[in-house]
Amino acid sequence: MTIKACVFDAYGTLFDVAAAAREAAKAPGGERLAECWPQLAEIWRLKQLEYSWLRAVADDYKPFWEVTQDGLDYALAVLKIDDPAMRETLLGLYQKLSAYPEVPAMLAALKTAGYSTAILSNGSDDMLNAAINSAKIGNVLDASISVEAVGVFKPHRKVYDLVGARMDVQPAEVAFFSSNCWDATHASAYGFQTIWVNRAGAPLDYVGSAPAHIVSDLTEAAALVEGM
């Protein structure tokens, strides 16, 4: 089948999840983070994901913004940072995460080529809207799809079902991009044509089905989809 829709995970794929900690370390009062912000960003992201998986398995959904706050609180506790003002700064910056540099032009190229574009994310609608507006990419996205509609996190099949229901496409007509290998491999098993955006140069996970392609960033996404 011909690809009709290009669908992207949000956090780590379109938006730089380390940006909040990096920017907070530069802000007034961020001296404590100057040396440990990469560790904070890594722990925060890992616990955010772990908590989403645990909640999916336990059928104990709560909005991703709350999960994000729980992950941050864990990371701050590990690093022994007890600073309510810094916590609020970090959360505020997470609402305005930077898009990776290649993202706006890449999405514009896909739209020019005639593909529908969308986000499919664990993020709640308000989180995604804030990030999209901050990155100024709303004009090159046709849809922003949140797991809130089904009350369970990726990689549950109900989440991937949302794409067909919202965009009127078959799984094989979807090029799905994710920086999370587990997301890409489970989406591949679901039937999407998946591209793992392996920004960290990590090894392939032993779950799901292998992605159709592995890339280091999204620069050549339009050319890649054209050849699928």
Which run of H or E residues covers position 126? helix 125-135
Q: Are 103 and 214 part of one and the same domain?
A: yes
Q: Are 61 and 154 part of one and the same domain?
A: no
> Residues 195, 200, 202, 207: is their CA dihedral positive or negative?
negative
Of 67, 94, 121, which closes a domain?
Answer: 94
Q: Are 72 and 136 part of one and the same domain?
A: no
101 or 30: whose pLDDT is higher? 101
Contact partners, residue 153, CB within 8 Å, separation at least 6: 52, 53, 55, 56, 61, 64, 122, 147, 159
Q: Are 174 and 196 part of one and the same domain?
A: yes
Q: Are 144 and 161 part of one and the same domain?
A: yes
For residue range 93-115, what is the model confidence (pLDDT) as tens digits? 999 999 999 999 999 999 999 99
Instruction: Confirm if 117 and 125 have CB atoms less than 8 A apart.
Output: no
pTM of the model: 0.95
Residue 139 CB neighbours (<10 A):
10
Q: Are 127 and 207 part of one and the same domain?
A: yes
Catalytic residue numbers? Answer: 9
Q: What average pLDDT score do residues 12-17 get?
A: 97
Residue 135 CB neighbours (<10 A):
20
171 pLDDT more than 70: yes
Q: Are 193 and 164 part of one and the same domain?
A: yes
In the chain, the number of structural domains is: 2
Q: Are 199 and 132 part of one and the same domain?
A: yes
| Residue 37 C-beta-side C-alpha neighbours within 13 Å | 19
Of 76, 94, 112, which closes a domain?
Answer: 94
CATH, residue 53: 1.10.150.240
Q: Are 132 and 221 part of one and the same domain?
A: yes
